[in-house]
Structure 1
Amino acid sequence: MMHRLRVLAVLASAVLFSACGSGGESTECLTGGSGTLQVNVTGLPASTPGKVTVTGPGGPQELTSSRTLTVTSGSYTLTAGIVAASHPLVRTAYRADAMPNPVCVHEGQSTTVAVAYAPIGSSGKLWTSNGSGGSAPLLGFSADVLGTSGSPAATVAATTGGAEGSAFDREGNLWVVGATTADPPVLRLPASALGTSGKKTADISLTGGPLEGGFPRARALAFDASGNLWVSVVFNNQLVRYTPEQLATSGSPTPSVQFSGLDGPSGLAFDSAGNLWVAFMGADRVARYNASRLGASSTASPDLVIEARTPPPVIGTLSAPSGLAFDVSGNLWVNFSGTLTRLTPGEQAGSGSITVTPTVQVGLSVTALPDGLVFDESGNLWLALSAGQFGRLGPSQLTSSGSKTPEVIITSPDVAYTGWFSFYPAPAGLPLYHRLP
């Protein structure tokens, strides 16, 4: 009997192939003797290994490509994980398609299973919010147009209503902040919808509660290591957390955690230890909440508050921090109104309130209006520039202070004013929920 199945790949979760028989019949799957199981893995670039686990009598076997297995007859389950092809800027991720059926290997017979991978639509692109006047509120630029300066059209121009701060989940769905009162405060755009341009409809929206009642509403999003979504809400000076269960359907859930009494919370970032870092635009400070305090609502002060200053001869407080991003060395990069500063792991330590003069402070053109920050696979830092432009600073430009011209500048006819940026998948070395090995 020949069974042809397709496998659903879900990162870090199992998809079961467990029924035996065909044509709707129930056939007992007996153990004993041996047969062959042919696993055909297709759809991946030649240099990209698959991630398929075959589990049954005799224990699991890990496969990276097509193989014929001689196995003990019986029932087998297969799981397939998301994998990514290498690229110096942003990788393309692949997921296997699926039919939720089992595999039965009969004594003396051969069974074939097809594991068909396909690209995840949201992967392999730099995503950016796009202010009024552009072709669409959400733009995606594929990796092949980002290598050098130029004027490429957006690979994907998504009409979503309005879109601002963003964060990916592990499956490649993009969560965004609604930019206007006509948009849901927080919405999810499915990965499958982000491979092409056009009107996009959110499949999950979060409304009500602390997300609404004033303006500006939500500002930035970040997932923690457990899949909880954290949202900074400007008008009511709060940070709120929604659990994975609350993110499964649309609605107006009561946040599982609320931090109140803040001063203009903006950008969010988690470090490798699970601590939450927050940019407070109203207070001109960057702050850390220890991981141990993130499980319960609080009005208490952060565990560490940092005031960053300019170097002599004109010493002053750097103001209005917004975007935050960690690099692979654990440095925290902060956008202070167009001055990009590096806070080293040593400067991130301790508690209480401290004043730091960052040793690296990078200035941009006076016309640049950066907001969010994001690092790519090679350590380039992407950010918004002036109207119609965004670009990247190379790793060598981030080792010293001074006014820098980004080594790559994208001037696209689709861009009005970019703001917040996201990649899927995130580089493996960054402390982001949606990273892949």
Structure 2
Amino acid sequence: MACGSEPGGERIGAAWRAILPAGLGLALLSQTALAAPLRLPSRPAQAPSFARACTIAPPEIQPLFTGGPAKPADSSEEADDDSDDDDNDEEDEDPPERGLVLPGSATCLAISGTVSAGMQRDSFRASRNGPPAPPAATSFPLSAAFRIATSHELASGLRVGTAFSFTLYSPVDGASDPSIDEATILVGPWTFGLDASRFSFWTGDEFIFSARVPSRTVGIIALELPLTESWTATLALEDPALGNTASSAPVPTGRRIPDTIGRLVYEQDGWTVHGALALREIPGTPARFGRAGIVGATYEGEALGHGWSLTAQLAGAIDGAPYLGSVLDARTVNRVLVASDATRGFSGVVSGRFEWTDELASNAYLSRYWLEVPLAGQIRGEVRIDRFAANLVWTPVEGFKAGIESSVAWAKIALTGREIPVGLAGRQISTQVFIERSF
């Protein structure tokens, strides 16, 4: 049926008949106006606006204690030497994120990501008193991580930034939940939001398992201040309950105050030294406080034209199990402990890297996790995990790498009265071939 046959259609048709002549008249008038020579006040021509390249780097904050008076201006040769030294320092440090300043904006926007795929073979052997071991299995893990960061410098010189990153994993048992790795707002030396704990030091970024397991994140408010050119102090309030609980130990309910972290970092001449203390509330009757401490160091050097690095870390805790071990250890312990357990223990790791060529490098690490768990009805409960892993990584071009990695883990879990999930206690050998593309 035609629109004009209905009352509503008649009204619309009448409106169009009224608007159409007016529109034609305005069009004719505009053409006449354009044809007529008009004298308008002259305006400077505006250059076309284009997106500009930019970088997002940590804010440069003046140290609280200066090392001495400013150096006088040197000759051109000395200045060139200084610039060469600065270039070398920049090559040693992590490069800043590259982004774009969009037209009409003063904010730098950077988008990056990593896609990792591979084939993994796992074999298990059960411990003597543990549950039966699962059969050997082959899987094809796939993960994709994305990060969006912004940076804006105010007229006062204060830099404000944001960062949001998440990781998608291949489905496990028919389900796959994304992991939020970071959601922060940076205002000068302050950080607010969701981020990695400031207590942590060695994270195993050189190994593919870091892309296979959700990162350990916490809700955080942190203040980071450089004390000198080499020393940086950090004070943070953290809440593990707000972070990614998939890879962290259980958090007691009813807590009144967040965890308190104090950290001191030294960086100079190839050395990075990290020391931190943590204090956390354990609700109960009576309430108690858990504490943890960590010392770690990394040295990067060069021998016979080959780059190498060595890292060592030692952490100890009383009622502070979440601060021990790697994300793999925390994921295992999370499945056998409850929040009210009293614990004491330590973890240690030694990790090394050697660059055979500019494109080929190998990494290896050895770690131990030990936790004592006093339980009613038994002298002592114990969790012990030993791990060894090594890989060979080929990086022919920037943003692409491929490699092979093998690891073996021995886990002993002696907790009377606790159900131990299949595959946790005993020995597990994993070998995986992987490729990774970053953009």
What TM-score comes out, normalization by structure 1 length? Answer: 0.27
Bigger CA radius of gyration? 2
Q: Give the structure, 1 or 2, with the largest relative contact order (CA under 8 Å, sep 6 or more).
A: 1
Higher strand share: 2
